[in-house]
Chain A
Amino acid sequence: AQKVTQAQTEISVVEKEDVTLDCVYETRDTTYYLFWYKQPPSGELVFLIRRNSFDEQNEISGRYSWNFQKSTSSFNFTITASQVVDSAVYFCALSPTTNAGGTSYGKLTFGQGTILTVHP
């Protein structure tokens, strides 16, 4: 069984602060994929990043960076110099590479989400 834990239910920061959202996962698969999605107040889910389990390089995209550590089963997300527009619920998710029947599909297991509020 797969599990994703986002222990931080809510985080509140002031604009321009750096903030890290934690994600810890459990899986028996040797290969898998990790994702982060953003859900702004408008409600839609926005894809941010996908990372496969055999690529442990950290990734940076503008003010966003992701730290993947297989040894600790963590895939943390850092926002540098946070802005009010970053206020949202952030979800970490895990996907196997195949299901039990051998059909390849991305069944996502989501964490509970972290509510980030950035104050001006």
Chain B
Amino acid sequence: NAGVTQTPKFRVLKTGQSMTLLCAQDMNHEYMYWYRQDPGMGLRLIHYSVGEGTTAKGEVPDGYNVSRLKKQNFLLGLESAAPSQTSVYFCASSYGGSPSTDTQYFGPGTRLTVL
């Protein structure tokens, strides 16, 4: 199993450009998440999904959109990139069953720079 994979690994954008980050998991997990990691701030939840066709806002959703058309994929879109969105983006997934057993597993991250 590949686990959680993210595409691309690195990307440089100019202000105002758009892009989509792809997250894929092969563990048949119901729940998927997008986080951003900034220096000194840990990881913050952007959006999440509790199943195919569902999405919800996290802690810092502004400027991002997401879609979960297939269970195994979770896309994060930036419609008009801004320098403040320069960050490392992590995708995670979890089984989503009982809270007592639910653990999030993370992808390798995407380093995005917006100039």
Contact = CB atoms under 8 A, between A and B. Distances in A.
A55 to B, nearest CB: 10
A117 B7 CA distance: 30
Task: Please classify the interface of chain B as helix (H, G, I), strand (E, B), loop, or mixed, using the class held by over half of its residues.
Answer: loop
B48 to A, nearest CB: 7
Contacts of A43: 88, 108-109
B49 to A, nearest CB: 9
A45 B106 contact: yes
A97 B33 CA distance: 16
B102 A105 contact: yes
Interface stretch (B14-22, B39-47, B67-75, B78-86): B39-47
B43 A103 contact: no
Interface in B74-115: 88, 90, 92, 94, 96, 98-100, 102-109
B61 interface: no
Contacts of B44: 110
A11 interface: no
Contacts, number: 63
Contacts of B99: 33, 95, 97-98, 104, 106
A14 interface: no
A108 B36 CA distance: 12
Interface residues of A, number: 27
Contacts of A33: 99-100
Contacts of A93: 43
Contact of A110 (B42, B88, B98, B109): B42
Interface centre among B48, B100, B104, B109 (most CB of A within 10 A): B104
A47 B88 CA distance: 18
Given A44-B107, A44-B109, A106 B102 contact: yes
Q: Top 3 closest A-B pairs, CB basis?
A: A110-B42, A45-B106, A97-B99
